[in-house]
Amino acid sequence: MRFRDGQWLVAEGVRIEYAEEVYRITPTASGKGISLLCPTRKVMTRGDTLNLSTLSIDIEAAFDGVISVETTHWQGALRRGPDFELYPAGRPEVDAKVSTTEHGTTLSSGSLSATVSGKPHDFAISFHPTNNAKKSLTTLLNRSVGLAYTPAPSTPMQIADMRNFKHYIFTQTTLGVGESVHGLGERFGPFNKVGQKVDLWNADGGTSSDQAYKNVSFWMSSRGYGVFIDTPERVELEIGSERCCRVQTSVEGQRLRWFLIYGPTPRDVLRRYAVLTGLPGKVPAWSFGLWLSTSFTTSYDEKTVNSFLAGMKARDIPVEVFHFDCFWLKAFQWCDFEFDQEMFPDPKGQISRLKADGVVKKVCVWTNPYLGQASPVFAEAAEKGYLLKRKNGDVFQWDLWQTGMGIVDFTNPAACDWFVKCMEKLFDTGVDCIKTDFGERIPSEDVQWFDHSVDPKKMHNHYAFIYNKLVYEALQKRYGANEAVLFARSATAGTQRFPLTWGGDCESTPEAMAESLRGGLSLGLSGFAFWSVDIGGFEGYPPPWIYKRWVAFGLLCSHSRLHGSNSYRVPWTVDDDDTSEEGCSATLRKWTHLKARLMPYLFSQALECVRDGLPLSLRAMCIEFPDDPTAWTLDRQFMLGDSLLVAPVFEEDGTVQFYLPAGKWTNFFTGEVKAGSAWYTETHSFATLPLYVRPNTLLVLGKEGETRTVYDYTGEVEVRSYFAGEGAKAVLVDSEGKTAGVLEVKNGEITGKEALKGGCEIKVVSE
């Protein structure tokens, strides 16, 4: 929200009161920080302390490298939930140190410090590395912390009745020269958020607007720090847009807390952010294989499903997971978890037969947390209080999406139990994983949750967290802690604990493919390890060339799914079953087989991502190359783990421009070596794209011709050396995720080869 009209004027209808000086500094109640009493005018005489507002700013050491800043106007305001689940793995010990000199008061939390100016009648707070006070990461300067009223009261007496006023708290951290800002969830617009207004409010808006399914209140700066805003309510950011040199964060309410997280590298920032909100959950090896969907509004039954899977098998395109989208349910009855008996008279038998025939290993079904009133279940759910209500006691309903749709109230424990029982019935049918769609359009006005203590505005974004957590934990209970997999669309901070997510409803265009890529990059910089996209685009009918280019992109994402809206995504329906080597079937086969060969590398990298809070794919280039300024601008390419650079092709003629950071990079397909730091333009057939191996890499691959997703990742593998110097490593893991050994270059030789089983080949590609 903009509170000013340019630099000099206040916006019409707004009253702003700024923290003008630090009047007093005292210890916080926890003993781990300092509390600043900040009047909204300079206090020159005793009389100046009367008839004015003050802001309390509590600065506390959270843990090494992390400091929290909480600004409060009226302390008596209720602290209504829900709140983010912080420190899910436990809070680290913190050694808070406070020191005072003539220059000011400094709070240190390990490697990060905050220094409050000691000048009389001054307001300035600098955040800097503890060992270098002159290297400011960001600051809060004059007129950077305040409160605002809309409409502007004409007299303080009007504030006695707050019902007609909105009250905001805001802070403005400085943006340095050349600083860029990234993250804030899955955002499809420009990769660098400077110059943008961003509202963190989950919405079902597709991939081609400023709305987002996954709003995450965390952003990363190119200056070596990140900021996590600790509230699930609507947060409005003006990122160099109200003031070009500041990031303004505002919320409606009496309090605003955020954490400043020091790196200095993006890896360090993400690791510390994961301590706050949780590490990504593990995913099983089979989930990396190809997922095939029925698509959305298409007509399908058991015969159609069988034809799809038989067709894929005949074309040597392995399918790991088959997904039944919406119309496994009876029309108007979504989502009551009952197979449409007319189309699927024997779902348990059908699923059993599919698996027994070997055409697919796992089955997924589409669900959502809404319930149409045409379902026989609706009346029961409404009567038992399982559905969200209006303030007058009515069930909240509307006709958006499903006629008379109600929303499951997950603040009601009985509703949660019922929902889990519905999941368990699906598991009994043979369903292995769940697509948790929707969860974004959660009303925040005229609603009453079962838990009366929650704030409806905070519930809007937080709903995605509790919805996905509930289903994920139900899967864990049935199949094991590391076998649970979601395919979720909505998310907020912390939802990375319940993998995985996909990018939502994109069009079948190259522009939409690029939008999706930007969304995946931004989500990866928000702490999410695993991500997928609707290969070919969701909306429309992709022409063959877009389908094939998207296949190459999609099979190099961490997870890969063919899915559409009103048209099928099996390859032979896209190009009239072109059987040539340039056809859709051949292209899909090649890339599916390549991903199978990459599994020893991918699964090992996935476990590192889970351990460190990193994205596997899409991984922004700046994570691996933070000292290269160009890396912070790259939004058409990504890293797949530590060692593989991927640049999707967006042009019909196959041309693509990409950037290689410093070093000697090797073309995965041809072995050609190119030197960075440099831009290149190449032209590619449908069987290739710029896939370059980073120097100093030992790359472990499945054997030539490998088509399986799950196999022995230490037997009959190929180890490739790409300019692998002293200390280059590759961690060997088995298909269960257990470490089997480590290959490492020592004294010019690869050690650890005893962990490899028979039939392995070691090949020096580049030296």
Q: What is the pLDDT of residues 673-702, one digit of tens each?
A: 999 999 999 999 999 999 999 999 999 999
- 34 forms beta bridges with 27, 59
3-state secondary structure 148-193: EEECCCCCHHHHHCHHHCEEEEEEEEECCCCCCEEEEECCCCCCCC
Domains 1-75+93-171 and 285-368+412-612 share a fold: no
CA 721/CA 745 separation, integer angstroms: 10
410: CB partners within 8 A, 6+ apart: 369, 416, 419, 463, 466, 467, 470
606: CB partners within 8 A, 6+ apart: 282, 283, 288, 529, 530, 558, 616
Radius of gyration (Cα) for the chain, nearest Å? Answer: 27
Q: Tally Cβ neighbours within 10 Å of residue 376.
A: 9
**Domain positions in the chain:** 1-75+93-171, 285-368+412-612, 621-766
Question: What's residue 194's pLDDT?
Answer: 98
From 230, 236, 409, 437, the catalytic residue: 437
Average pLDDT over residues 508-512: 98
Q: What is the pLDDT of residues 626-654, one digit of tens each?
A: 999 999 999 999 999 999 999 999 999 99
Three-class secondary structure of residue 379 per DSSP: helix
Question: What's residue 767's pLDDT?
Answer: 85
From 64, 505, 534, 539, the catalytic residue: 505
Q: Is 437 a catalytic residue?
A: yes
368: CB partners within 8 A, 6+ apart: 334, 335, 436, 437, 438, 439
User: Is the predicted pLDDT of residue 439 greater than 90, yes or no?
Assistant: yes
Q: Which pair of structure tokens corresponds to residue 505? A: 């409803």
Question: What's residue 111's pLDDT?
Answer: 98
- Helix, strand, coil percentages (3-state) for the chain, rounded to 5, are 25, 30, 45
Q: Is 440 a catalytic residue?
A: yes
Q: What is the pLDDT of residues 15-28, one digit of tens each?
A: 999 999 999 999 99
120: CB partners within 8 A, 6+ apart: none
Which alpha helices (DSSP H) does 201-261 contain, by range? none
Question: What's residue 759's pLDDT?
Answer: 85
Q: What is the pLDDT of residues 117-143, one digit of tens each?
A: 999 999 999 999 999 999 999 999 999
Three-class secondary structure of residue 747 per DSSP: coil
Question: What's residue 233's pLDDT?
Answer: 97
Q: Which pair of structure tokens corresponds to residue 488? A: 């979720």
From 186, 230, 268, 440, the catalytic residue: 440
Superfamily grouping for domain 621-766: Golgi alpha-mannosidase II (2.60.40.1180)
Burial bucket for residue 452 (CB in 10 Å: 0-12, 13-18, 19+):
exposed
User: Is the predicted pLDDT of residue 538 greater than 90, yes or no?
Assistant: yes
User: Is the predicted pLDDT of residue 551 greater than 90, yes or no?
Assistant: yes
Write down the residue that tokens 């050396």 correspond to. Answer: 721
pTM above 0.75, yes or no: yes
- 638 forms beta bridges with 646
Indicate the CATH number for domain 1-75+93-171: 2.60.40.1760
Are residues 247 and 239 in contact, defined by beta-carbon separation less than 8 angstroms?
A: yes
Q: Which pair of structure tokens corresponds to residue 380? A: 């029961």
Helix 413-429, helix 347-356: angle, nearest 10: 50
- pLDDT above 70: percentage of residues in the chain: 100
Which DSSP string do the residues of 285-342 spell out, in sequence order? Answer: GGGGSEEEE--SSS---HHHHHHHHHHHHHTT---SEEEE-GGGBPTT-TTS--B-TT
Residue 731 amino acid letter? V
Question: What's residue 599's pLDDT?
Answer: 98
User: Is the predicted pLDDT of residue 766 greater than 90, yes or no?
Assistant: no
Number of helices (H), then strands (E), belonging to the chain: the values are 10, 42
User: Is the predicted pLDDT of residue 146 greater than 90, yes or no?
Assistant: yes
Q: Which pair of structure tokens corresponds to residue 76? A: 């008596």
Please state whether the peptide bond connecting residue 584 to the residue before it is cis, i.e. omega within 30 degrees of 0: no
Write down the residue that tokens 């910089």 correspond to. Answer: 525
303: CB partners within 8 A, 6+ apart: none
CA 428/CA 56 separation, integer angstroms: 55
Are residues 138 and 124 in contact, defined by beta-carbon separation less than 8 angstroms?
A: no
Burial bucket for residue 652 (CB in 10 Å: 0-12, 13-18, 19+):
exposed
Write down the residue that tokens 């429309």 correspond to. Answer: 540
Question: What's residue 758's pLDDT?
Answer: 85
Indicate the CATH number for domain 285-368+412-612: 3.20.20.80
Are residues 600 and 719 in contact, defined by beta-carbon separation less than 8 angstroms?
A: no
Phi, psi of 474 (to 5 degrees): -65, -40
Are residues 408 and 416 in contact, defined by beta-carbon separation less than 8 angstroms?
A: no
Q: What is the pLDDT of residues 291-350, one digit of tens each?
A: 999 999 999 999 999 999 999 999 999 999 999 999 999 999 999 999 999 999 999 999
Give the sign of the dihedral formed by CA 577, CA 578, CA 583, CA 587: positive
User: Is the predicted pLDDT of residue 182 greater than 90, yes or no?
Assistant: yes
CA 343/CA 337 separation, integer angstroms: 14
Helix 510-524, helix 544-554: angle, nearest 10: 10
Are residues 617 and 638 in contact, defined by beta-carbon separation less than 8 angstroms?
A: yes
Average pLDDT over residues 548-568: 97
Q: How confident is the model at residue 283 (pLDDT cuts 50, 70, 90)?
A: very high
